[in-house]
Amino acid sequence: MPPTDRVADPEDAESTKKSVCPRINLVPVKYTKTIHFVRHGQGFHNVAGHINHDNYKSWEYYDAHLTELGWRQAENLGKHVAATRVPVELVVVAPLQRAMETAVAAFGNHNDPGAAAAAAGAANGNGNGASSSGDEAPLLMVAQEGVAGKVTAHAAVSGRGCPPFLAHELCREHIGVHPCDKRSSITNYRKRFPGIDFSLVSPDEDVLWTADVRESKEAIRRRGLAFLKWLLTRPEREIAVVTHSSFLHFTLSCFGHGAATQVQGELHKWYENCEMRTVVLTDDSDEGVAAASHGATDPWHFAGGSHATGGEAQ
């Protein structure tokens, strides 16, 4: 029988697979992504909410920042990422301050000597994260002054040698009622985080958050699934996503049903502050393959045949 891409007896093949190993699946690697999901570090709203859950409704914690502990958690995550050589090609971040602070702390450059000059340039009104002397050091975040109980003072963070950072509104936290989950204007964010790309977030002000309606669990799940479909269209294979606990829980709870109890637990367990877990994402449907095809490659593929002999006839 000549070689063919077609399976002569697809129903028999599928039946055998279901009877022998029904949960095993094989997908060409070029249609997969490795996603490193990260929950933000401890925020001031977390501390207040643990004391009294009603504090989540307080405007004192509008678009909450990281606590000092939250910054340490995120910086320690960064040390872990460096030590384990996580090959992140893109950092996607929810457009809320605690998530962006976590992202720059974990995946930014804290040892760039040019960052101080860039910070001075930003302070002098350059507004582009570069020093006035021309020694360009792209800043992910400008230095921030502390405000007791609300903002932790922190030095500027450089983006030199780092992957690109991209904000996406689909992965933001549970929307509505809680002021901590209401974002600030993109104009303000661009000043604070000049190295983050906000081109996918609009309009400038937060029109999704409302004071009297809390987003439903079903709405979060649908938003999360739409976000995963968007991730599959990206050309990058290794992507870090810095986001929030409710978003992660309700999105990931859509998966793993019927899997081993341990797998379900690892997917569905509530994330701790600054916890990172890694999953493999794929969609082998016609729609998924079409969405991924523009950037889908297998970097390890070797064609064989005449290619393996330098073009010589076989």
From the list 75, 173, 215, 236, the catalytic residue is 173
Write the CA distances from 108 to 23, 239, 309, integer angstroms: 39, 15, 45
Rounded-to-integer distance, Cα 53 and Cα 34, Å: 35
The contacts of residue 234 (CB under 8 Å, 6+ apart) are: 33, 90, 295
**Cis before 203 (ω within 30):** yes
Tell me which residue of 216, 214, 213, 243 sits closest to 227, measured CA to CA.
243
CA distances from 200 to 129, 159, 174, 203, 240 (A): 20, 20, 19, 9, 17
As given in the structure block, the two tokens for residue 133 are 């002397």
- Specify whether 268 is catalytic: no
The rounded distance, in Å, linking the Cα atoms of 52 and 55 is 6
Question: Which residues are 166's β-sheet partners?
Answer: 92, 197
The answer to whether residues 288 and 282 touch, using CB atoms and an 8 Å cutoff, is: yes
Nearest to 180 by CA among 254, 68, 120, 94: 94
Residue linked to tokens 């699934």: 225
Residues 140, 160: Cα–Cα separation, whole Å: 9
- Cα distance between residue 83 and residue 89, in whole Å: 16
Told to judge if 173 belongs to the known catalytic residues of this protein, a careful annotator would answer: yes
Longest dimension (CA), the chain: 77
Q: Which amino acid is at 41?
A: G
Number of alpha helices (DSSP H) and beta strands (DSSP E) in the chain: 10, 8
Catalytic residue among 40, 45, 168, 244: 40
List the catalytic residues: 40, 173
